[in-house]
Amino acid sequence: MPAARALLFALLMAAGSAAAGNDPVLAPPAEALPPAAEAMRDELQRIVAARDLQALRAHVREDTTLSFGGDSGPQGFDAVWATDAAATRALWRVLDALLALPGVARSEEGKDIYCAPYVFCLPYPADIDVFDAQVVLGRDVAVRAQPGPQAPVVTRVSHVVLTALDDATGASTPGWVHVRLASGQQGYVAGTLLRSPLDYRLSLVSEGDGRWRIQYFVAGD
């Protein structure tokens, strides 16, 4: 089972029930990263800031998973992210957003691993279908009665997991997500303040002597 899918399976199996009426919390980790994970993250951030495609590709190995459709390794990287300038611009946008969020350090089989973002990498606490889950990325985020910045505030939430809903009309409002709280209350949250656990995520694995590889860089399931 590919590492990205195995971690998704563990995330689903770790789901627990939230207390009635209480939205489950999934907050960014407070502890500092250990040196090995921090070094991998920092080098990746420098590569992304420099928009250095070849330096990024150098960390792709033959077994690096790049999609659930069979794309892997350097050739898969080129097929997904280097077909043209538009694809490469999308790559940098995705990585900018991903690396703006904290990650999590772990150790597997004696190897240091950096997994990001935390909304995928931490144990999933909610009795919510992960495919409908939206994690609130900040504190005191407004849940509004209607989709729009001037709509009345229904409530405010901090770092909780909400359920995304389809609007009754079947239409969506660009930039806003219709959500349900654990209490059953509904409202709208600005999409920039939410992230799905199944959005893009990645894992970096130390190979020793300061070297590291991308284990997976995927979205979806």
pLDDT tens by residue, 144-157: 999 999 999 999 99
Q: Give 54-63 pLDDT, tens digit per residue.
A: 999 999 999 9
Burial class (CB in 10 A: 0-12, 13-18, 19+), 30: exposed
pLDDT band at 127 (very low <50, low <70, confident <90, very high): confident
- What are 136's strand-pairing partners? 194
pLDDT at 125: 67
Domains and CATH numbers, the chain: 3-19+30-123+199-218 (3.10.450), 133-195 (2.30.30.40)
pLDDT value, residue 19: 43
Lowest mean pLDDT among 18-22, 82-86, 93-97: 18-22
pLDDT in tens, 159-187: 999 999 986 554 567 899 999 999 999 99
Q: What is the per-residue pLDDT for 160?
A: 95
Q: Please calculate the CA angle 81-84-90 and round it to the nearest 5 degrees.
A: 50
Query: pLDDT tens, 1-53?
Result: 566 655 554 554 444 444 446 889 999 999 999 999 999 999 999 999 999 99
Neighbours of 152 (CB within 10 A): 10
CA 13 to chain centre: 18
pTM for the whole structure: 0.85
Cβ neighbours of residue 15 closer than 8 Å, sequence gap 6 or more: 124, 125, 126, 127, 128, 130
- State what percent of residues in the chain have pLDDT above 70: 87
Find the largest Cα–Cα distance for the chain.
56
Tell me the C-alpha to C-alpha distance, in Å, between residue 10 and each of 55, 107, 123, 165, 219. 31, 16, 8, 24, 16
pLDDT given for residue 6 in this prediction:
55
Residue 53 and residue 90: Cα distance in Å, rounded?
12
What is the pLDDT at residue 13? 41
pLDDT reported for residue 2: 63
106 has a pLDDT exceeding 50: yes
